[in-house]
DNA sequence: ATTTATATGTCGCAA
DNA sequence: TTGCGACGTATAAAT
């Protein structure tokens, strides 16, 4: 990893064109070949960058970064270098994440009564030709219900569920099939579209559900 | 801006939990208060980060970054510091972008004849219950046309336009409503889906359109 | 402040 | 390779 602090101007041409006037910035060159130009704000997002695979050519105050795959390019005009150091970091062992949506789906599968008393789970990840339905249930009346689980409910999710419902409803073993759109929060537009298509919306309290499920969080 | 190269381990807790084993990494501390931890790959993306507003407390080999707004926290265990330098970058003049979708939509709104002679614009951002249609036009025959503008035409855009068309077509003042999908480039699958739904596809030459519109680029 | 659409989104997985 | 969905998405525009 190479860290360069320099007065520089930058021009990017590719999916869009962008220009950075002359100023002092950090140029971060990683071992993966990537180059990014940072100001002292915008959190971790650089002003300009080039993702690998790309090549960096340093030529008399003009650094050119050219993408290998596309015709994207980054031209950095260097006026003055204030700092330049390289460091061997080695390979990173990587990070361990514990996600949200997968966990949410699992919690709901274990607590389908969240949707109503008498509900039971038929299958998680119920397969269809266009992909698995998150949860397939039967409600208290025995009607089939396909549940789509999202962390944030947006229009795309309603579309996805609609496609599943159309397919599932063709199966005489399952038909008629209701739809439930479950998410921590549901955007008004998504709710509108869901209602328009006869799909129920359920907002889920993730923390409460986790509290119900996680013994370490139980009060008794 | 402060650059620290250190052997460290990191724990993040907030919207998810994540752990980074001990390794050598870059810790980037910006003037905006943000802290990000970088490995030597993943292009410009850090392994972990904290966005401002947040506070960094350094305490005997344990750096704690606490979000001011939420209860997100980043705990960095420092084993050894290999480099530590600070640099005054000043305020960045900012970057100038060109070529985004808004500009494309504006250009097309000002040049609806791009779609055909005799076309006129009814409204830009024509409102519907599920969001605004980019351009609503009348073609040379007076037929209503909804135009969806994208930089890159993909399936999502066709779906979006389809939803608008379904709604608009219910309005007797507008019906029947045709659809036009306009983009700099249109993916084959998107084109296929559009054709299947009777939606016309128009690829737009952005540079030519800008040349038509921008007097400084005109040749005469 | 909240909601919505955009992004040089990036990233990972599966067909 | 392409398509598709998730992301600690982030961020700017519009209500």
pLDDT band for B7, please (50, 70, 90 cuts).
very high
A 93-132 near B (Cβ less than 8 A): 93-100
Q: Which pLDDT value is given to residue A48?
A: 96
Highest-confidence segment of A52-61, B122-131, B148-157: A52-61
Res. B219: pLDDT tops 80: no
A181-217 residues labelled b (16+ CB within 10 A) or e (exposed) = bbbbebeebbbbbbeeeebebbebebeebeeeeeeee
Q: Which residues of B touch A19 (CB under 8 A)?
A: 95-96
| CATH 3.40.1350.10 residue ranges for chain A | 101-217
Question: Residue A133's CB: how many other CB atoms inside 10 A?
Answer: 28
Residue B100's φ and ψ, nearest 5 degrees, are -85, 170
Residue A38's φ and ψ, nearest 5 degrees, are -110, 140
CB A43, CB B49: distance < 8 Å? yes
CATH number of A101-217: 3.40.1350.10
Cis peptide before B53 (omega within 30 of 0): yes
Q: Which pLDDT value is given to residue B151?
A: 79
Mean pLDDT of A52-58: 95
Q: What distance in Å separates the CA atoms of residue B135 and residue B168, rounded to the nearest whole number?
A: 12
Highest-confidence segment of A65-74, B35-44, B183-192, B203-212: B35-44
Q: What distance in Å separates the CA atoms of residue B104 and residue B85, rounded to the nearest whole number?
A: 43
Instruction: For residue A142, count CB atoms less than 10 angstroms from its CB and return exposed for 0-12, middle for 13-18, buried for 19 or more.
Output: exposed
Question: Higher model confidence: residue A54 or residue A187?
Answer: A54
Residue B71's φ and ψ, nearest 5 degrees, are -100, 25
Provide the positions of strand C that have an atom within 7 A of a protein CB: 3-11
Q: What distance in Å separates the CA atoms of residue B98 and residue A78, rounded to the nearest whole number?
A: 23
Sign of the Cα torsion B206, B212, B213, B215 reads positive
Tokens of B217: 């680029």
pLDDT band for A218, please (50, 70, 90 cuts).
very low
Q: What distance in Å separates the CA atoms of residue A172 and residue B21, rounded to the nearest whole number?
A: 52
pLDDT band for B13, please (50, 70, 90 cuts).
confident
* Interface probe with A: pick from B18, B38, B39, most Cβ of A within 10 Å: B39
Res. A216: pLDDT tops 60: no
Mean pLDDT of A204-211: 72
Res. A164: pLDDT tops 90: no
Q: Which residues of B touch A26 (CB under 8 A)?
A: 1, 3, 28, 87, 89
Res. B73: pLDDT tops 60: yes
* Interface probe with B: pick from A51, A53, A75, A95, most Cβ of B within 10 Å: A95
Tell me which residues from 148 to 207 on chain A have a beta carbon below 7 angstroms from nucleic acid strand D: 150-152, 156-157, 160
DSSP state for residue B15 in the 8-state scheme: S
Q: Which of helix, strand or coil describes residue A147?
A: strand
Q: Which pLDDT value is given to residue B141?
A: 97
In chain B, pLDDT over 70 holds for what percent of residues? Answer: 96
Residue A68's φ and ψ, nearest 5 degrees, are -80, -30
Contacts of B73 (CB under 8 A, 6+ apart): B12, B13, B14, B50, B64, B65, B66, B67
For residue A23, the cross-strand partners are A8
Res. A37: pLDDT tops 80: yes
Q: What distance in Å separates the CA atoms of residue A77 and residue A63, rounded to the nearest whole number?
A: 6
Mean pLDDT of A54-67: 95
Res. B218: pLDDT tops 50: no
| CATH 2.70.180.20 residue ranges for chain B | 2-86
Question: Residue B132's CB: how many other CB atoms inside 10 A?
Answer: 13
Res. A118: pLDDT tops 90: yes
Task: Please report how the helices A155-168 and B155-168 are oriented relative to each other, as an axis angle in degrees rounded to 10.
Answer: 80
Instruction: For residue B145, count CB atoms less than 10 angstroms from its CB and return exposed for 0-12, middle for 13-18, buried for 19 or more.
Output: buried
CB A32, CB B42: distance < 8 Å? yes
Q: Which pLDDT value is given to residue A188?
A: 85
pLDDT band for B220, please (50, 70, 90 cuts).
very low
Tell me which residues from 15 to 44 on chain A have a beta carbon below 7 angstroms from nucleic acid strand C: 15-16, 18
Mean pLDDT of B35-39: 96
Is the CB of residue A69 less than 8 Å away from at least one CB of chain B?
no
Q: Which pLDDT value is given to residue A209?
A: 74
Q: Say how far residue B213 (Cα) sits from the centre of its chain.
A: 24
CA distances from A98 to A46, A182, A218, B41 (A): 27, 20, 21, 21
Who among A87, A91, A156 is closest to B82 (CB)? A87
Task: Say which CATH class A2-86 falls into.
Answer: mainly beta
CA distances from B216 to A99, B210, B220 (A): 51, 10, 10
């Amino acid at each position: 990893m190479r860290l360069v602090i320099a007065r520089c101007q930058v021009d990017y041409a590719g999916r869009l064109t962008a220009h950075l006037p002359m100023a002092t910035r950090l140029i971060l060159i990683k071992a993966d070949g990537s180059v990014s130009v940072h100001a002292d704000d915008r959190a971790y997002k650089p002003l300009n960058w080039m993702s690998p695979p790309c090549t960096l050519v340093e030529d008399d105050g003009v650094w050119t970064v050219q993408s290998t795959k596309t015709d994207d390019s980054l031209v950095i005009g260097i006026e003055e270098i204030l700092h330049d150091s390289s460091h061997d970091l080695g390979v990173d062992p990587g990070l361990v994440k514990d996600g949200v949506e997968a966990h949410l789906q699992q919690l709901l599968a274990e607590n389908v009564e969240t949707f109503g008393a008498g509900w039971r789970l038929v299958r998680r990840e119920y397969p269809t030709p266009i992909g698995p339905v998150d949860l397939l249930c039967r409600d208290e009346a025995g009607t089939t219900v396909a549940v789509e689980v999202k962390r944030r409910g947006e229009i795309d999710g309603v579309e996805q569920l609609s496609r599943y419902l159309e397919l599932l409803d063709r199966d005489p073993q399952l038909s008629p099939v209701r739809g439930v759109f479950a998410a921590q929060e549901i955007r008004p537009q998504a709710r509108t579209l869901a209602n328009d298509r006869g799909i129920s919306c359920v907002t889920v309290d993730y923390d409460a559900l986790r509290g119900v499920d996680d013994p370490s969080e139980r009060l008794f």
